[in-house]
Structure 1
Amino acid sequence: DFTGDMPVILGPDGPSLGGFVCPVTIIQAELWKLGQLRPGDKVRFTRLSPVEARALEVRQDQDIASLAVSTAPILVDANALGDDDCIVGMRPERGARPRVVYRRAGDKYLLVEYGPIVLDLELRFRAHMLMTHLEAQHLAGIIDLTPGIRSLQIHYDSRVLPLSALLGELFRIEDALGDIGDIEVPSRIVHMPLSWDDAATQLAIAKYMQSVRADAPWCPSNIEFIRRINGLDSIEDVKRIAFGASYLVLGLGDVYLGAPVATPIDPRHRLVTTKYNPARTWTPENAVGIGGAYLCIYGMEGPGGYQFIGRTAQVWNTHRITPEFEADKPWLLRFFDQIRFYPVSAEELLTFRDNFLQG
């Protein structure tokens, strides 16, 4: 992935969602090499066809089963390499049904994209319907389903569920979906405290200026940058819009640990910004930021690129079951929840955070 000029390889602990540009995906049989990398190592990518990726995976499975590493070369019939185009299927727009594009995302993922590259809630609802239909099928080989703004990423085991069979099932479901103009989805209103321009986010900006980029146009104040780039008269205007908005959760796992990607239902509340370039190396847990037209609550400390507006309560609880964090669901938010922030001081937020995880 690329965030600005910085390349990132996401490993097994990577997020479910993200806003980075992803030009290539490492194949399953080569993932073990990521664990061997050290600072200062150099990485080069070699293009492989899906057939070659499959042959390497078969060899790896055999080596693991026998506990003996084979050194014999892997021979692949050049005539059997097949088509390695990214787009493996497409359905044209038909009436109320949007165009569907099926994109190969490495040898273990398939990305289903609906319609044009626009923020359209109806496209998000269609991806949701596809996800629920797939879940109801209980297909062997489906590992995980991750809906995005207008897409559904399918993680599958190609040894159990070949791509051709998966595409056939997706085509069948798409025919059955039809027009979804009357769809209804559950939606809760979740009120969350927000410490505006919190000290923790100010510290993250200071660290960024000290160690990454002191002359970035979003420094020393991300909120002032948001004001400027949106043509608002004052920082109070930014604050009024942020606290007046109802943010609809369109995805979970943006960054890490149940972090929501959300956008205001009312377009008048949509603040648009660029992201950090280069990215931050540190972001406080539960910082709230805006990137593009979307808001994110960071589920844990880590790198990041969204422009800060403050900090809120936890969205993930690893160790306790409470009324807000259910058994086997340690994340707070659900798809299509509406987040509404209310102002608290930094001190009030710290007290709230201490109590919240305890129930």
Structure 2
Amino acid sequence: MTTKITIERPGMLTTVQDYPGRTGYWQVGVPPSGPMDDLSFRLGNVALGNSEGAPGLETTMAGPALRFTEPTEVCVTGAPVTVRVDGVPVPQWRPVTVPAGGLLDVGAVTGPGLRAYVLVRGGLDIPEFLGSASTFTLGTFGGHEGRTLRDGDVLVVGEAVEGNSTPVPSEHVPALSAHWEIAVTEGPHGAPEFFTRADIDALYATEYEVHFNSDRTGVRLIGPKPKWARADGGEAGLHPSNIHDNAYSIGALDFTGDTPILLGPDGPSLGGFVCPVTVVAADRWKLGQLAPGNTIRFVPVRSEHAASRRDLGVARRAGLSLVSSSGGDGDDGVLARRDGNTDVTYRRSGDDNVLVEYGDMTLDLALRARVHALHQRLDAERPSGLLELTPGIRSLQVKVDPDVLPIPKLLGLLGEAEEVIGDSDELEVPSRQVRLPLSWDDPATREAIQRYMHGVRADAPWCPWNIEFIRRMNGLDTVADVFDTVFAADYMVLGLGDVYLGAPVATPLDPRHRLVTTKYNPARTWTPENAVGIGGAYLCIYGMEGPGGYQFVGRTTQVWNHRHPEPAGPFEDGTPWLLRFFDRISWYPVDPEELLDLRADLAAGRGGGVDITEGTFSLARHREFLSENAESIDAFQAVQSVAFAQERSRWEAGGS
């Protein structure tokens, strides 16, 4: 007989999650989601005889009350909470039976810790979205209707598994604290290239405080402002934290301007900020239990000593503590360098990622071509243990299971690939022309700026009008010149998932259309869905509501199909993302009311004002264009460079 669970009280932020979550879509901006404290979640499942990844519930600060129609074994793990079955207290970390018609009541977290987990024997029977039952609330998909649970929701328990349940051994129960030590490896962006040696020393010496404005996307920290090893990010932006966009690792310490954020399982896959250290995979469960006001000390460990994430036992945690005093790898996060026609730098990004970077820190489509060649080769070979390939502007992040494909072996494979991928200068790829509507200076973006000024920073030089800031930074005479430049440009898509869900990071093919600006510091906490912004030399369309840092120019129609898996308008069957690598985006102007009509049209499964024409892009022909127009390009960039320097001087004089 089917067992059903009725939600009589949802608790706080209670969602369905599974482990390891939604994998294989990092390159198009779909995060894995899954339990933020995966260790507590997996231990609870194993105690019930489930597979360690079976769908269960995650709750934050206060748990749910659940009514069961049939006798069901459950196990509550994670942060300490009061647990009662029909009013009778029962222990955590031990399977208990809720009788038919019985009520499981999970109370508030009594501390330390922040999140508790409710696992049921047989797991939850939840339809999968892109291969996982995990809820991604910002994207409104997965789990139960893509959202947190509400009063009256009904869940179905999966088919009961065979075998005996057993309590979690006391020595395996994770030790929670208000004062944490978290193991990290160096990289990908360390000293002396990005941070000073003193900055890195301060990072390890500081007790960071967890900010209240933290969630599953990332844990914001309060700590000292870095001194920085460089004055700015060049073409990537005005602040020294700005870089050409690359893939992130879950657990990376991301400096968005001067603000450090530990990226969580609902965090972005791609972005343009530096990350000096990354939490090792075996310690990332701790992010789920970091409560506001807790303190953190980052402990550098050697990457080869990072314990396996597969080990759920006490040896896993003991192994980390044994090496915590040994210091890091001492290589500033750089695993290797390779000289040649195109130099290659291999950067450590946790113990399970390598970030392959090509050439100098400049915007050069030839470097993106090299990334594409490596991406294609590794994707075709697919060695055992390779999990994800995520391209950036001049980089490719390679995620592996280090138990199957150790990092030293991966470096050998990457070196062999360089020997055989050949000349990428003759790149010719499919490149569609995608015309989209743009509501210039849209009211929704104006509202986001006002929210930022009221809640984050009122004196920022890009406030109260981002477009005027863009004009100043590029030495243009009028705001109308910004308008003309944006609408004249063809923006080539170099990456997807720049702030989630198929959101492109794109740059104009003609450098004379390449407006350069900086990103918000600190970042916004709210950005309207499908806002269009410029950061560094790049343009982004935000795939959904969420944080952000690009300077607004307007808003467009949807680039992610929330009606998936049914095809709709320009979206293809089975792919809810609209854009592809190397698409060329161009704009046509619409007023705000017309844009709302087009958005409604697209949401209903029609065209929504999107026009797509097939085509190709040739790197050789592009180089000919650059050569033919070199004089006027140089003149434009000279004016731009002077304006950029003047704006930076004003910024520094104002203390920003």
Query: For each residue in 1:130-169, what CA deviation from the matched residue of structure 2 results, as whole angstroms up to 9, or x when unmatched?
Result: 0000000021111111111111011111011111221111
Instruction: After TM superposition, give the deviation of residue 76 of structure 1 in Å.
Output: 6.0
Counterpart for residue 418 of structure 2: 174
Counterpart for residue 477 of structure 2: 233
Instruction: After TM superposition, give the deviation of residue 82 of structure 1 in Å.
Output: 9.6
Q: Tell me whether 1:163 sits opposite 2:407 in the alignment.
A: yes
Counterpart for residue 270 of structure 2: 17
Counterpart for residue 46 of structure 1: 299
Matches within 5 A, 1:66-77: 69=314, 73-74=318-319
Q: Tell me whether 1:355 sits opposite 2:355 in the alignment.
A: no
Q: Tell me whether 1:26 sits opposite 2:311 in the alignment.
A: no
Instruction: After TM superposition, give the deviation of residue 199 of structure 1 in Å.
Output: 0.4
Q: Against the structure 1 CA distance between its residues 208 and 174, is the aligned structure 2 distance closer, same or farther, given a 3 Å change threshold? A: same
In percent, how many aligned pairs have the same letter?
60
Q: Is the 8 A contact 2:369 2:425 kept in 1?
A: no
Distance, in Å, in 2 between the alignment partners of 1:81 and 1:235 is 52
Distance, in Å, in 2 between the alignment partners of 1:32 and 1:82 is 20
Q: Tell me whether 1:263 sits opposite 2:507 in the alignment.
A: yes
Of residues 67, 86, 89 in structure 1, which corresponds to 2:336?
89
Greater relative contact order (Cα < 8 A, sep 6+): 1
Counterpart for residue 516 of structure 2: 272
SS in 1 for 2:481: helix
**What runs of 5+ residues in structure 2 fail to find an aligned partner?**
1-253, 607-656
Matches within 5 A, 1:106-145: 106-145=350-389
Letter in 2 for 1:355: D
Q: Is the 8 A contact 1:52 1:81 kept in 2?
A: no
Counterpart for residue 219 of structure 1: 463
SS in 1 for 2:311: helix
Q: Against the structure 1 CA distance between its residues 349 and 162, is the aligned structure 2 distance closer, same or farther, given a 3 Å change threshold? A: same
Instruction: After TM superposition, give the deviation of residue 177 of structure 1 in Å.
Output: 1.5
Q: Is the 8 A contact 2:493 2:581 kept in 1?
A: yes
Counterpart for residue 257 of structure 2: 4
Query: For each residue in 1:86-145, what CA deviation from the matched residue of structure 2 results, as whole angstroms up to 9, or x when unmatched?
Result: 22222112xxx3011111111010011111111110110010010000000021111111
Larger helix percent: 1
Q: Is the 8 A contact 1:51 1:82 kept in 2?
A: no
Letter in 1 for 2:385: G
Q: Against the structure 1 CA distance between its residues 241 and 296, is the aligned structure 2 distance closer, same or farther, given a 3 Å change threshold? A: same
Q: Tell me whether 1:102 sits opposite 2:349 in the alignment.
A: no
Q: Is the 8 A contact 1:285 1:300 kept in 2?
A: yes
Counterpart for residue 497 of structure 2: 253
Q: Is the 8 A contact 1:113 1:151 kept in 2?
A: yes
Counterpart for residue 61 of structure 1: 310
SS in 2 for 1:61: coil
Of residues 526, 529, 544 in structure 2, which corresponds to 1:282?
526
Q: Is the 8 A contact 2:301 2:328 kept in 1?
A: no
Distance, in Å, in 2 between the alignment partners of 1:195 and 1:295 is 15
Query: For each residue in 1:54-111, what CA deviation from the matched residue of structure 2 results, as whole angstroms up to 9, or x when unmatched?
Result: xx22xx5332xxxx54598438689x99955222222112xxx301111111101001
Q: Against the structure 1 CA distance between its residues 70 and 238, is the aligned structure 2 distance closer, same or farther, given a 3 Å change threshold? A: same
Q: Against the structure 1 CA distance between its residues 72 and 11, is the aligned structure 2 distance closer, same or farther, given a 3 Å change threshold? A: closer
Instruction: After TM superposition, give the deviation of residue 289 of structure 1 in Å.
Output: 0.4
Query: For each residue in 1:238-296, what CA deviation from the matched residue of structure 2 results, as whole angstroms up to 9, or x when unmatched?
Result: 00000000000010111111110000000000111111111111100110000011001
Q: Is the 8 A contact 1:145 1:155 kept in 2?
A: yes
Distance, in Å, in 1 between the alignment partners of 2:491 and 2:434 is 10
Q: Is the 8 A contact 1:246 1:265 kept in 2?
A: yes
Distance, in Å, in 2 between the alignment partners of 1:110 and 1:104 is 5
Q: Tell me whether 1:339 sits opposite 2:585 in the alignment.
A: yes
Distance, in Å, in 2 between the alignment partners of 1:126 and 1:273 is 26
Q: Is the 8 A contact 2:569 2:602 kept in 1?
A: no
SS in 1 for 2:585: strand
Bigger drift between 173-182 and 298-307 goes to 173-182
Runs of 4+ in 1 over 4 A off after TM superposition: 68-72, 75-78, 80-84
SS in 2 for 1:185: strand
Distance, in Å, in 2 between the alignment partners of 1:98 and 1:156 is 25
Larger strand percent: 2
Bigger drift between 250-259 and 8-17 goes to 8-17
Aligned length: 347
